[in-house]
Structure 1
Amino acid sequence: MSLSIAERLAALSLSSKVGQVNQRLKGWEAVRWVDGAPQVTDVLRAEVDRFGGLGALYGVLRADPWSAVRWGTGIPPERSAEAYAAVQEHVDRCGDGLPVLFVEEAPHGLMGLGGTTLPVNLALGAGMDPALTRELGAAVAAEARERGTHLLLVSGLDVLRDPRWGRAEECFSEDPALAALLVEATVQGMQGAGAGERIDAQHVAVVAKHLAGQGAGIGGRNGSGAPLGPRELGEIHLRPAYAAARAGVAGFMSAYNDIDGVPCTGSRELLTGTLREAWGWDGIVMSDGGAVDRLSLAVGGRLEDAAALGLSAGVDLSLWDQSYTRLEAVLEEGLVAEAALETAVTRVLRLKERLGLFDDAPAEPAADEQWPSARARETAVLAERAARQAVIVLEDGGHLPLSARRIAAVGPNADDLDALLGDYTPPRPPEEPGAATVRAALVERLGADAVPHARGSDLRTPRGEAALAEVTAAAARAEAAVVVLGGTSRRSYDDEFAENGAADGPASDTTNGEGVDLAAVALPEAQLDVVRAARAAGAGPVIAVVVDGRPRALTDLAALADAVLLVPFPGPSGGRAIVEVLLGEGGNGLLPATLPRADGLQPVSHDQRLEAPRAYIDQPQVRGPLLGAGLPAAVRAEVSGADGPVRAADLAGGATVAVTVQVHHARPEPVSVPVVVYGRRHEPGILPRTRTVLAAGRHEVPAGGGEVVVELGLDALGSWADGTPQAVPVRLEVWAEPVLTPPAGAVTVQVVA
């Protein structure tokens, strides 16, 4: 007969309780692959001896330059379950026998050897397809669970408010409604269960990160403070977290940053008041790596005081911290009551129960001696679909689709597969079916002789006149030149890293990723020189393709190129997806974030308030293309109709207002396009935002065009001032064109008392 959580808790010693809330070890240091088999290390043995067990273990499968795990030294994907089993066997034999919670990173696919790499979140934001996002979540979860993983750490709560931030690629959008839509879909897909429901053996628990406001750090610097007022916090940064909580997410990760001076990891108001008391959510809160130890800065330097602050605030499970290992001393000093520790332990045990880890005969991970497994191959197919949706055509200049049969592929990202992948990516396998750079994809279509190539420059630094002359020569031998520019989150095994894995040393050509924040977001002059060199050939149109993980100022580029495509890191099949769009076979992504017109003009989000309408004296226009820009000129949308006024009480009870979006296009076949509905709220006493996203989604539109009916409910029409949707009297102007000012045909929706 299975024991209750209370009975399991009562059977634990104090040290074992402390062990259940610690996640101090780095898994790749706890398990080694030796002579074809997994072996637990002395590091793991000492931890189990110290606490009589092991609550959770992070990163047994993690493979990247920080962990120094690569193909040939790490755990082969088909042997992952054996590595986990070796840990559990040791805990059963030498500890309390409670099942270990195995935790891995999955910001865009499982970060282990053989894990399928997806397009980054910003690319999914461009696709605006919650159904596909849900499918991808389910596929990644199944792939991870068949390897024995229980819990995945998943980005998606951060809202992109400053393009200088290196982790912009981990955000779905600058708009909280779009971010909330896609993070909710991710949680639903990965967990396959609602709040409190059992998570089956085909799914995983999710810890969504990061809570909260990390995307609004001062100057776009990672982990810097977020000087947010309560309304800005609620309307922008808590909305995706609320969507995740509503979907039953198993956990939240507290962020490094502070909000108005209060560290998130030490904020009882946030972690207990908002999450548990206001929202009624009851999962686990995990700290970001070393974030509890960082609380010592706020409590005079002692780790014991930091642990007390974190536990009192509501942190149930630490990550790599030393402070939580001192919880017995914290209790002895009376800094917190043992009941607070037992509350945290209970939440950890409940999560294990929710995953079925206490079952008498828990489900065994699937054995598959071949890799990639059948499931991983299915995931790759979905990732290719997402990559095609992520390609954004900003300007086609009448030159797309290309009909040329000789196309030069030039520029620093033209033949660099790593530049397609994003941060938190495991080493690529020796052979990766389906992977293709832009150059490789063009060669597949046209043949090697028809695709002259030259790099021209590095991403941040020039390579000299000779390298540029090679670009001109390559473009002269072709009918069109595709210049592939942008950034990369590439990490090197020679890089230096901080304790949490962020870049902590010189990275010669890396421009994106955690710890890689930029003061300037305009394309470097070295890259623009490559475009000029291609233009100098005079042989045909110059098509610029910017592959990057953050919004870029592209004003100078637009003046040099005949057409401009922007592609958030699309994953290993991204080169093929880009070429399909160049040849007229796909695309239709939309900008998930607004582009600044120049350096020094960020942030420039589309939903800034109307109280600051003036630009700078030296920059009369601050914004470039807006969030929502990117549909080819042949597609346009207009909104009409509404159901009339709706009472606030009815809206709170589930009533909706229907608006009809008429999508026009000139194509002779059905098209899949994102449809965005914008609104400007006029709430008494509140300065309105320029516009907000009321609804977004991808729809199949018949040949020649058709109608899409969008239901606007409480999420779209309500106030989010405290991070939850509230029905209040308000008037909204509603439209579907990607413009800032409500057009003449905007519909008025009224919510009345």
Structure 2
Amino acid sequence: MKLTQLSCFSIVKTPTKIGSIALGVLLGLSGCGDKKTTHELVTEVAMTPVAANNSVSSSLTIWPELTPAIAKDPVLEAKIQALVAKMTLQQKVAQMIQPEIRDITVEDMRQYGFGSYLNGGGAYPNNDKHATPADWIALAESFYQASVDDSVDGINIPTMWGTDAVHGHNNVIGATLFPHNIGLGAANNPKLIEKIAAITAQEVMVTGIDWVFAPTVAVVRDDRWGRTYEGYSEDPRIVKDYAYAIVEGLQGAVTGDFLSDQHVISTVKHFIGDGGTENGIDQGENLASEQDLYDIHAQGYVGGLNAGAQSVMASFNSWHGVKNHGNQYLLTDVLKDRLGFDGFVVGDWNGHGQVAGCTNESCAQSVNAGLDIFMVPTAAWKPLYENTIAQVNNGEISQARIDDAVSRILRVKFRAGLFDKPSPANRPLSGKTELIGQARHREVARQAVRESLVLLKNNQSLLPLKPNTKVLVAGDAADNIGKQSGGWTITWQGTDNKNSDFPGATSIYSGIEQLVTQGGGQAILSTTGEFSPEQKPDVAIVVFGEEPYAEGNGDIDNVEYQRGDKRDLALLKKLKAQGIPVVSVFISGRPMWVNPEFNQSDAFVAAWLPGSEGQGIADVLFTKPDGSVAYDFVGKLSFSWPSTPQQTQVNVPLAQDKIAQAQADYQPLIPYGYGLTYQSASTDAIALDTLSEDNFSASQTLENLALFERAVKSPWSMYIATNNARQGLSSSVASNSALNIRTMDRVVQEDARLVSFTGSEQGTVGLISNFPRDFRAYSNSDSALSVSIKTEQLLQKPLWLGLACEGDCRQQVDIAKQANTTLGKWQNISISLACFAGKPMDFGKIIIPFYLTTDAKVDISFSDVVIQATPSEKTIRCH
């Protein structure tokens, strides 16, 4: 069986924002013409509607009736009402449109008067990653002045800039970067969280920005989720307390300096249930009962709203088949009416386009459901603006709903003082660059690093180490500030950063080196653990862990660390074999199955993603010069640690105040709340020396994975492509210059597709996800890609069946010979996944799990695209 790769299949890396679409794979699979990123294509795709599960009963009595933290001011409400009455429909809809800085000009702002705008992750003024605070201020000032220029639209409502400052002002070079939320959860210190939020607000305001998209209050239920590190804990009680603390830190206390010139508008996100999707798939389906939706997933909103949060961001996920961006029950009946929220609801990155019946350019359903602001990056903002106006004029959206949305936006702007404050360049903190990364801020971050560390193993009290020790510091995370900071760090994914991109920060190694040198010892840096005989160390500190990722790019299908590539384990074994005591410092965005690494470590520290102040780790690992403890470990696991790679949903029982160890279904390797200190007795420690290293891959039971069976299965979407154009399918019939496609009935209504290739050029039909998906469990077993197919004419040219992964990689197999064996009749063609293996294929990051492409003139029908866990005897094998 011949395999081939097409040379023109390439990747376009375009920075994009949180919460939505993966970058990467181009969909004109055989062409070299005009190309779009996956982000651009998927936002064109109308998501397959999923009917709501009518068996789920809704009961508003589950939800508490909250009293708004800020009482409505009749004088302010009259002012809002008077302003709304003066506004034209065009001006009102403009308040509801939030474009991105790469997609609008100052003149666009002057003409339309957008209510807000944002910078996505990896978006900077002048498209310059190293833009200075002055550059950020200049952009904020220019957009602000354009928004209040009434010479074009006759109104001067100030705009506001929103940014993802999720662990400090993480888009700006030199800012203080705090540990990601998972580490802060281990610290369990709400007062510290409030300080962190207040510092973040200050550094944000230095650059003239008004509004922060934080905190994330997801309660994570499945650690395969790529956003696990954005959750503080699997325990909603911690999340509730932290939500209150961070909102108060960002916005100020309602009874104090609320939204003063020292504070920013906060956003509690993502409403609701994003941490509880099936199989941990980002933007996926949450099937929790309504009681669990409140008890588990809503507690952060209770905390945040009680602190006076002024905005809430809708989530990409669905709840029982209904996308949250279009769920009126959740956005209006629950959030606004029952929970008493009188601020505004902002969407996530083109999230409205995923609502059934919507596109990025048109979605009356979201407005009617209760969305107040469309987050609409790319050029889609203009048709969305025009279509929304038309939908009000034709009655699809009521004028009352528009007025309510605009009133909410104006209410927040008035409360934040935007009508009275000076322009961004003239505010009290603006331009005070000495605040960005200042020593006082970094000291708080350093404290947060110390308190986030969790000591999981400490045989023979190896730790703390004395500073006059000869220390080998090894591992590829030892001197890598980008890796220790994780995703959402300067760039969206946290990748492509160098230590020089972090002025003022310290790597973990540099913190160790400084402390040890001052203490009379020696620190030797060797990523690979090499040293000369005269340099043989007394101890090795090995710093290793996950590569940075954000959102769905971090989704995995089990939690085994370095599955199939145990290079860090090999390093630990090499050092142990030389009789060197090993301290492992594990960098990760989630708890992972590291049994082999535990076995090779004398001490093991979960360091999570500590951020820019790496020296905080040295503070805890080493004593004072006199041998006394400098800082003890105080961190405790806020996530249970898995006992197998497949134990991805292991959450502490919430029915009791204490962990129910006897409860049969709660059997983690290390329980929630665990963490040793230097005072811990040996009897307090869990034995982590002779753990099973069986990853159960051989006995893992895999089920068939349906990709297209009666309908396209979530999270996949269908597309067609030529050499020069791609499009998502939004109706039962579509065409381009290379093919025509329509739905057809094979067994039941519209359970198959008929594709008529014209033969004039290469045409492609396939399935795509908005983020790469992990297929390693299938590729490591005897699995196959199966499709039912019917060919009407004899193929004289290749018909390629293929898969593609994120990055410049794809593999395909010519199935023309098999297709020709039975003309005019359905047959099943099954190809072993081994046929698609080999470089550069990466089954851990599949973005397109199926495509057919040909330049032959032929009619082909297909249905039932499945990854078969147990292939049939007729499966084609390539070796």
Which residue does 1:733 correspond to in 2? none
Q: What is the CA-CA distance between 1:85 and the residue it aligns to?
A: 1.5
Q: Does 1:602 align with 2:648?
A: yes
Rounded Cα–Cα distance in structure 2 between residues aligned with 1:475 and 1:631 = 34
Which residue does 1:479 correspond to in 2? 538
What is the total number of aligned residue pairs between the two structures? 574
Conserved 8 A contact 2:166-2:488: yes
TM-score of the aligned structures, taking structure 2 as reference length = 0.61
Q: What is the CA-CA distance between 1:564 and the residue it aligns to?
A: 0.6
Which residue does 2:388 correspond to in 1? 327
Q: Does 1:86 align with 2:142?
A: yes
Which residue does 1:555 correspond to in 2? 595
Structure 1, unaligned runs of 5 or more: 31-40, 457-469, 490-509, 616-620, 637-662, 664-753
Rounded Cα–Cα distance in structure 1 between residues aligned with 2:598 and 2:421 = 63
Q: Does 1:169 align with 2:229?
A: yes
Note the alpha carbon deviations across 1:447-491, whole angstroms, 9 max, x for none. 4992233323xxxxxxxxxxxxx54768971001111111131xx
Which residue does 1:234 correspond to in 2? 294
Conserved 8 A contact 1:410-1:482: yes
Which residue does 1:593 correspond to in 2? 639
Conserved 8 A contact 1:531-1:561: yes
Which of residues 532, 535, 552 is equivalent to 2:576? 535
Q: What is the CA-CA distance between 1:413 and the residue it aligns to?
A: 1.1
Percent of paired sites with the same residue: 24
Q: Does 1:574 align with 2:614?
A: yes
Which residue does 1:446 correspond to in 2? 516
Rounded Cα–Cα distance in structure 1 between residues aligned with 2:637 and 2:302 = 24
> Structure 1 residues 357 and 572, CA, compared in 2 at 3 Å: closer, same or farther?
same
Conserved 8 A contact 2:558-2:646: yes
Q: What is the CA-CA distance between 1:19 and the residue it aligns to?
A: 0.2
> Structure 1 residues 309 and 196, CA, compared in 2 at 3 Å: closer, same or farther?
farther
Which residue does 2:161 correspond to in 1? 102
Which residue does 2:369 correspond to in 1? 313
Larger radius of gyration between Structure 1 and Structure 2: 2
Which of residues 419, 425, 436 is equivalent to 1:358? 419
Which of residues 83, 86, 95 is equivalent to 1:8? 83
Conserved 8 A contact 2:180-2:610: yes
Rounded Cα–Cα distance in structure 2 between residues aligned with 1:220 and 1:472 = 42
> Structure 1 residues 360 and 426, CA, compared in 2 at 3 Å: closer, same or farther?
closer
Rounded Cα–Cα distance in structure 1 between residues aligned with 2:117 and 2:534 = 53
Give the superposed CA RMSD.
Answer: 3.0
Which of residues 216, 220, 232 is equivalent to 1:160? 220
Conserved 8 A contact 1:395-1:565: yes
Conserved 8 A contact 1:409-1:438: no
Which residue does 1:694 correspond to in 2? none
Rounded Cα–Cα distance in structure 1 between residues aligned with 2:302 and 2:201 = 22
Letter in 2 for 1:534: L
Say which SS state the counterpart of residue 375 (structure 2) adopts: coil
Q: What is the CA-CA distance between 1:568 and the residue it aligns to?
A: 1.3
Note the alpha carbon deviations across 1:303-329, whole angstroms, 9 max, x for none. 67x622111111111101647422111
Say which SS state the counterpart of residue 409 (structure 1) adopts: strand
Letter in 2 for 1:442: I
Conserved 8 A contact 1:308-1:336: yes
Say which SS state the counterpart of residue 103 (structure 1) adopts: strand
Which residue does 1:258 correspond to in 2? 318
Equivalent residues in 2 for 1:690-701, closer than 5 Å: none
Note the alpha carbon deviations across 1:666-722, whole angstroms, 9 max, x for none. xxxxxxxxxxxxxxxxxxxxxxxxxxxxxxxxxxxxxxxxxxxxxxxxxxxxxxxxx
Letter in 1 for 2:122: D
Which residue does 2:857 correspond to in 1? none
Note the alpha carbon deviations across 1:354-389, whole angstroms, 9 max, x for none. 111122867832367663437844322211111111
Q: What is the CA-CA distance between 1:210 and the residue it aligns to?
A: 0.9
Conserved 8 A contact 2:121-2:488: no
280-289 or 85-94, which deviates more: 85-94
Which of residues 469, 489, 492 is equivalent to 1:405? 469
Which residue does 1:626 correspond to in 2? 671
Say which SS state the counterpart of residue 119 (structure 1) adopts: coil
Q: What is the CA-CA distance between 1:414 and the residue it aligns to?
A: 1.4
Rounded Cα–Cα distance in structure 2 between residues aligned with 1:386 and 1:611 = 29
Note the alpha carbon deviations across 1:23-69, whole angstroms, 9 max, x for none. 0x212444xxxxxxxxxx3xx424543x3x1110112xx66379994
Which of residues 538, 545, 563 is equivalent to 2:585? 545
Say which SS state the counterpart of residue 169 (structure 2) adopts: coil
Note the alpha carbon deviations across 1:368-420, whole angstroms, 9 max, x for none. 76634378443222111111111111111111111361011111211211111
Equivalent residues in 2 for 1:340-355, closer than 5 Å: 340-355=401-416
Q: What is the CA-CA distance between 1:249 and the residue it aligns to?
A: 0.4
Say which SS state the counterpart of residue 379 (structure 1) adopts: helix
Note the alpha carbon deviations across 1:536-555, whole angstroms, 9 max, x for none. 111x3111110111111232
Q: What is the CA-CA distance between 1:446 and the residue it aligns to?
A: 2.9
Q: What is the CA-CA distance between 1:430 and the residue it aligns to?
A: 4.5
Note the alpha carbon deviations across 1:4-31, whole angstroms, 9 max, x for none. 11121111111111100000x212444x
Conserved 8 A contact 1:206-1:249: yes
Say which SS state the counterpart of residue 142 (structure 2) adopts: helix
Which residue does 1:18 correspond to in 2? 93
Q: What is the CA-CA distance between 1:527 and the residue it aligns to?
A: 1.5
Q: Does 1:455 align with 2:530?
A: no
Structure 2, unaligned runs of 5 or more: 1-74, 492-496, 624-628, 685-879
Letter in 1 for 2:349: G
Conserved 8 A contact 2:215-2:266: no
Say which SS state the counterpart of residue 212 (structure 2) adopts: strand
Which residue does 1:435 correspond to in 2? 505
Q: What is the CA-CA distance between 1:623 and the residue it aligns to?
A: 1.0
> Structure 1 residues 589 and 475, CA, compared in 2 at 3 Å: closer, same or farther?
farther
> Structure 1 residues 520 and 585, CA, compared in 2 at 3 Å: closer, same or farther?
farther
334-343 or 368-377, which deviates more: 368-377
Say which SS state the counterpart of residue 650 (structure 2) adopts: coil
Conserved 8 A contact 1:63-1:70: no
Conserved 8 A contact 1:134-1:185: yes
Q: What is the CA-CA distance between 1:154 and the residue it aligns to?
A: 0.7
Which of residues 304, 308, 311 is equivalent to 1:248? 308
Letter in 2 for 1:107: V
Rounded Cα–Cα distance in structure 1 between residues aligned with 2:274 and 2:476 = 31
Conserved 8 A contact 2:368-2:397: yes
Letter in 2 for 1:443: E
> Structure 1 residues 256 and 477, CA, compared in 2 at 3 Å: closer, same or farther?
same
